[in-house]
Amino acid sequence: MRNWFSRLGTNQRLAVLALALGLAAAFARPTPGWTVRVNAQELAADLQRGGTVRAQELADWIVKGTTEFRVIDLRDETAFAAYHIPGAENVPLASLADSGIGHNEKVVLCADDGTRTAQAWFVMKALGFRNVHILAGGLDGWKGQAASPSLPAATTTPKIDLQVPSLPAGGSKTGSKKKKEGC
């Protein structure tokens, strides 16, 4: 074995090394569980900064086709199937840790209940997610302000059709859907 390796040139040795490291990586779990410390001061500072996204703002992102955010709907499956924000993903509170959301991805949380989103915000912050926001006014606010706004016709406010309840099961990434798909 040693003889065989010593007969190789530098390039071949590096290739063997890369293959060995690659092979080991194939069996590795690259993201072991991290221990996360909750920094109360940081949380408080975040709260002071607001950490919310207005319905109008979110509607604007969706209409523009921006992909750098994910809308996470915390309600149960039935409520989600009946109606959800276009492109939203249905993730129950308990599944937030292993939902596959990147820790630096911009997340907008929504639910009918303000308490639920606040709980999820804290859970996600504690799990090390950096860019978590709450949809101000929840889904009721969204329906009132963005989905069917009572604004003059001349404004460019995006209108999103509320009447398409049938949707394939399971969420998908925000932005990868068409704007008017499944509300």
Partner 1 sequence: MIAPLFKFGVFGDETSLVLAFLIGIGFGFFLERAGFGSARKLVSQFYLNDLAVFKVMFTAIVTAMLGVTYLAWLGVLDLSLVYLVPTYLVPQIIGGLVLGFGFVIGGYCPGTSVAATATGKIDGLIFFLGVFAGTILFAEAFPLVKPLYSATPLGQTTIPRYFSLPYGLVVFAVVLMAVGGFAGAGWVEKKMASRAQS
Contact positions vs partner 1 (CB under 8 A): 11, 15, 18-19, 21-23, 25-32, 34, 64-68, 70, 100-105, 128, 130, 173-176
Nearest distance from residue 130's CB to partner 1, in Å? 7
Q: Are strands 52-53 and 132-135 parallel, antiparallel or unpaired?
A: parallel
One-letter amino acid for residue 170 of the chain = G
What is the C-alpha separation between 40 and 151, in angstroms, rounded? Answer: 41
Q: What is the DSSP letter of 127?
A: T
Nearest distance from residue 30's CB to partner 1, in Å? 4
Nearest distance from residue 145's CB to partner 1, in Å? 24
Find the distance separating the first CA and the last CA of the chain, reported in whole Å: 63
Which tokens belong to 64?
A: 């523009």
120 versus 136: smaller Cβ distance to partner 1: 120
| Residues written for the chain | 183
23 versus 44: smaller Cβ distance to partner 1: 23
Nearest distance from residue 15's CB to partner 1, in Å? 5
57 versus 105: smaller Cβ distance to partner 1: 105
Instruction: Please tell me whether residue 39 adopts helix, strand or coil conformation.
Output: coil
64 versus 159: smaller Cβ distance to partner 1: 64
